[in-house]
Chain A
Amino acid sequence: DAGITQSPRHKVTETGTPVTLRCHQTENHRYMYWYRQDPGHGLRLIHYSYGVKDTDKGEVSDGYSVSRSKTEDFLLTLESATSSQTSVYFCAISEGGSGTDTQYFGPGTRLTVL
């Protein structure tokens, strides 16, 4: 158990509304990641963080922003949700300090944008 929680676990929202998903970890891992899972695509990286206030974009970052003001929390924000952002969102942490180690995933957040 990597001590990762995600909140909320399920959310239904309307197009155009802002949404923030939270990832919380209890073991002070430096690296954290946000992925989205869609049928036929596996998981794709949205954003990642390599330390407090240090973040960078992944391959599908358009329409998303992130923040990491403390080690244990990594927030993913959809500024104005669209139906194409309906997905399951997974947070992950990387053990070790270099980002090259195994990633462990949180339980996921199922987001539906109507």
Chain B
Amino acid sequence: AQKVTQAQTEISVVEKEDVTLDCVYETRDTTYYLFWYKQPPSGELVFLIRRNSFDEQNEISGRYSWNFQKSTSSFNFTITASQVVDSAVYFCALRGYGSSNTGKLIFGQGTTLQVKP
């Protein structure tokens, strides 16, 4: 079975603080993909990043960075110098790859991030 756990339900920080959102996943697939999506208060889902299981390089995009560690089955997301506009719900998701795979995403429960001015 595949599962994604985002243990942090809500996080509140003050602007300019760094914040890390945790994501732990379970899968038996040797090939799989991990994703992060952002859902701002307006409600749409915005794709942030996709990572495949063979690429463990960390990725940085501006103030965003992602740490993928297969040894701990984690794919954590860090926002450096947070801003009020970062306030949103963030979802981590997993998709396996194989003959039984439908392309469906398995989502975590989401982490609500509030950045206060």
The complex places the Cα of A107 from the Cα of B43 at a distance, in Å, of 7
Question: Shortest Cβ distance from B101 into chain A, in angstroms?
Answer: 7
Total CB contacts across the A-B interface at under 8 A? 63
In the complex, whether A58 has a CB less than 8 A from a CB of chain B is yes
Do the beta carbons of B110 and A94 come within 8 Å of each other?
no
* Cβ–Cβ contact B35 & A31, under 8 A: no
Alpha-carbon separation in the docked complex, A43 to B105 (Å): 8
Residues of A near B99 (CB, < 8 A) are none
Please state if A108 and B108 are interface contacts (CB–CB under 8 Å): no
Query: Which residues of A are found within 8 Å of B45, using beta-carbon distances?
Result: 43, 90, 105, 108
Q: A107-B44, A108-B43, A108-B44 are in contact. Are A99 and B103 (CB under 8 A)?
A: yes
Closest chain-B Cβ to A105's Cβ sits at a distance in Å of 4
CB distance from B33 to the nearest CB of A (A): 7
**0/1 interface trace, chain B 1-22, chain A, CB 8 Å (1 if under):** 0001010000000000000000
Shortest C-beta distance, B34 to chain A (Å), equals 11
Contacts of A92 in B (CB 8 A): 105
A100, B35: Cα distance in complex, Å: 12
Residues of A within 8 A of B33 (CB): 100
A-B contact pairs, 6 of them (CB 8 A): A42-B108, A43-B91, A45-B102, A48-B104, A50-B102, A107-B43
CA distance A73 to B39 in the complex (A): 24
How many Å from the CB of B54 to the closest CB on chain A?
13
Query: A8-40 toward B: CB 8 Å interface, digit per residue (1/0)?
Result: 000000000000000000000001010100001
Residue in A41, A43, A50, A105 with the greatest tally of chain B CB atoms within 10 Å: A43
CA distance A73 to B101 in the complex (A): 23
Q: Does A88 contact B (CB under 8 A)?
A: yes
- A56–B100 Cα distance when bound, in Å, is 12
Q: Does residue A103 face the partner (Cβ distance < 8 Å to B)?
A: yes
Chain A residue with Cβ nearest B4? A42
